[in-house]
Structure 1
Amino acid sequence: MDCDVQKTAVEARIAGLVRSAMGPRDEDESPSAACETVLGEVTGQALTSSEGGKRLRALLALDTFDAVRPASPDGDADAKRMRDAMLDLACAIEVFQTAALVHDDIIDESDLRRGKPSAHRALAEATRSTSIGNGLGIMLGDLLATASVDIANTAARVLHPHDAIVAAFLNMHREVEIGQVLDLAVELTPLDDPHALAEASLNVFRWKTASYTTIAPIELALLAAGTDPRQARGRALSVGRPLGLAFQLADDLLDVTGSSARTGKPVGGDIREGKRTVLLADALESADGSARRELADMFEAPERSDEQVARAIELFASTGAIDRSRDRIARLWRQSREAIGAWDLDDGARAAMTAACARFVPMA
């Protein structure tokens, strides 16, 4: 199916699923009138936060499902029912991503998401209270995360094996939650051992990003298409783990080489936040003594000015850290392609899988 057509279908379905997931299920147990306005703001923000994005995860799940399932005759009602359920399962991953981003923006104190006010900032403005806005943002993320499980469970009743699909979806939740803990732990990592910092950052990429961005979409699609659970997990890891790392490296690179118009966030946002990244580790490792000390002092300070952000980007380039990230991305992308090549697919299906994965590394 055409990528744009699939993306449109995903976007429309997410809106419907999120709308139906918000609020109480029992009609005779509605919230009090005094609180309906705030609940309405949260519901509205759930829809706003769910809009936009490239939908790479959903598209990867759908393309994987289409590549590996046996062909069905046109008009096959069971095949259509399964494909519709797979669409919902793919959307569940996207709803979970929105939940994770809402929480991430609170942790990072981010003002923008996809070019719009982040959810907790919008809710703070609506309630005229920063603390209430943050609290509502946390609950919004929880509501969306719960909704994602509900959506996945309902879809898995049509797909088989139900229990394996739900277990894989819950494992995706768990891995991202572990990844968020590791992400915060990395911020305590000293800057005097760049190699250890790079390894720790890449480990975060595996747990926090690859788990739900590339591994789970592939694993869930393979399960839904009838692949043995052990084989589905192995294949998903072999392709999704290097692809997820490459994707996050590319995203971090875009933070310093892209533009606000393209990313929806200020250029150098990770630097401004003082995040410990692979780019920083590579720059520290290659910099001379004075530049290394300058970078360390900059990232150990409580905040960084616009001039320091620009200087850090300059040092990332002059030390070769940017080029080194590009080399890492190319190497990881090659590993993913080789893993796809080891699958038992015909030429058309292999090309479709490779094209689906290539969306994650447009610069490779």
Structure 2
Amino acid sequence: MSDSSSIGAIETRIRELVHDYVGVNGTDAPITPALRPMFHTVVDQALASSEGGKRLRALLTLDAYDVLAGAPDSTQSRSVRTKVLDFACAIEVFQTAALVHDDLIDDSDLRRGKPSAHCALTSFAGARSIGRGLGLMLGDMLATACTLIMEDASTGMVEHRRLVEAFLSMQHDVEVGQVLDLAIERMPLDDPQALAEASLDVFRWKTASYTTIAPLMLAFLASGMTSEAANLHCHAIGLPLGQAFQLADDLLDVTGSSRSTGKPVGGDIREGKRTVLLADAMMLGTAAQRVQLQQLYEQPFRSDAQVHETIALFHDTGAIEHSHERIAKLWSQTQESIEAMGLTAAQSQSLRKACERFLPDFTAER
């Protein structure tokens, strides 16, 4: 597994696919000349928003397929591998669509260290309402594009219908997850156990569904695994891995830096987001610390000083360490599920290494 060469191929193919599926194919004739500059700006932003990222989802799709299918040794198998690359890129294009919408919902100014899509489009349009509207439509265009990419790439394959159904199911799960993510923000803070359980459930719908479960599902189906077996194994491996990945991401929000994340440190705290980390801090903290946290989160916004105060409470209550323990437990479940597949030792090791990319700070041997 060569990350650098694989990522290069993924980046190149994503640019080609976004250009072909988001733009107007063939000619601009149907678009009135006076309106073309704004349309071209939106297409350019689709390309810009699609750049960067670790491509973890695409890499997992390709590596999981390679583990089961082996090296392409014929024209037919190389053709299938090319299709799987497009599956992998379709997931990444979907992620871009989700992030564009996510930044609109959260009113985030930055994404991967650059202005978020709606902010960049607002600068071009000169009006916030138009910029936000363009951002909304950009997310929709990318969501449509990724579906068409998946449909076209899987055409002619034995599992064509099941592959498309799995991809559409992934999209539906993320949409449900986004609704639940907004619903959780209305939860009171007087039952931290319920908040932790609800947050982990959101991770299943909003994160694991397209981050780990769908990449495995598409790879397993493309390799010839039955639908029943693919569904069983992708959930057993992908669900705990996706939840652990989101827990690690939430930790990075309070222990990382803007340079490493491309977003302001403590962004979730500033937004007042209900997280597992917050729930753990309230469960583990003293009565005084719980009151302090509740007062901080009940305010309409939190200053820089209050963000640092909250981070200190996460440390002092033991919530940070408890998140590490949660991640370790979930990672153990993923490893056990890989072993349960009955693969060869070499295959199991390769699949485990592909999954380790999601938790580099938690799976390295100590």
Q: Same fold (TM over 0.5)?
A: yes
Matches within 5 A, 1:61-76: 61-70=61-70, 72-73=72-73, 76=74
Matches within 5 A, 1:120-159: 120-159=118-157
**Alignment partners' CA distance in 1, 2:211 and 2:297:** 28
TM-score w.r.t. length of structure 2: 0.97
Displacement of 1:29: 5.1
Displacement of 1:23: 2.7
Displacement of 1:260: 0.7
1:214 aligned to which of 212, 215, 224: 212
- Other-structure match for 1:279: 277
Matches within 5 A, 1:76-155: 76-155=74-153
Displacement of 1:3: 1.5
**Alignment partners' CA distance in 2, 1:126 and 1:168:** 37
- Equivalent residues of 1:284, 1:292 under 8 A apart: yes
- Other-structure match for 1:205: 203
**Alignment partners' CA distance in 2, 1:97 and 1:158:** 25
Coordinate RMSD, CA, aligned: 1.1
State the secondary structure of the residue aligned to 2:190: coil
Displacement of 1:160: 2.9
State the secondary structure of the residue aligned to 2:350: helix
**Alignment partners' CA distance in 2, 1:155 and 1:347:** 31
- Other-structure match for 1:312: 310
Displacement of 1:34: 1.4
Cα displacement string for residues 77-103 of structure 1 (whole angstroms, at most 9, x for unaligned residues): 111111111000100000000000000
Q: 172-181 or 286-295, which moves further after superposition?
A: 286-295
- Equivalent residues of 2:174, 2:205 under 8 A apart: yes
The number of aligned residues is 362
- Equivalent residues of 2:216, 2:238 under 8 A apart: yes
- Other-structure match for 1:60: 60
**Alignment partners' CA distance in 2, 1:222 and 1:261:** 36
Displacement of 1:2: 1.1
**Alignment partners' CA distance in 2, 1:313 and 1:256:** 6
State the secondary structure of the residue aligned to 1:363: helix
1:50 and 2:50 are equivalent in the alignment: yes
- Closer/same/farther in 2, CA of residues 72 and 88 from structure 1, 3 Å limit: closer
Cα displacement string for residues 4-34 of structure 1 (whole angstroms, at most 9, x for unaligned residues): 1101100110011001112334647521111
TM-score w.r.t. length of structure 1: 0.98
Identity %: 55
**Alignment partners' CA distance in 2, 1:70 and 1:320:** 45
- Other-structure match for 2:18: 18
**Alignment partners' CA distance in 1, 2:361 and 2:276:** 17
1:256 and 2:254 are equivalent in the alignment: yes
- Equivalent residues of 2:176, 2:206 under 8 A apart: yes
State the secondary structure of the residue aligned to 1:276: coil
Structure 1: stretches of 5+ with no match in the other structure:
none
- Other-structure match for 1:195: 193
**Alignment partners' CA distance in 1, 2:30 and 2:150:** 25
Q: 54-63 or 151-160, which moves further after superposition?
A: 151-160
- Other-structure match for 2:40: 40
- Equivalent residues of 2:72, 2:78 under 8 A apart: no
Cα displacement string for residues 122-145 of structure 1 (whole angstroms, at most 9, x for unaligned residues): 000110111111100000000000
- Equivalent residues of 1:239, 1:339 under 8 A apart: yes
1:179 aligned to which of 164, 168, 177: 177
**Alignment partners' CA distance in 2, 1:69 and 1:345:** 12
Letter paired with 2:168: L
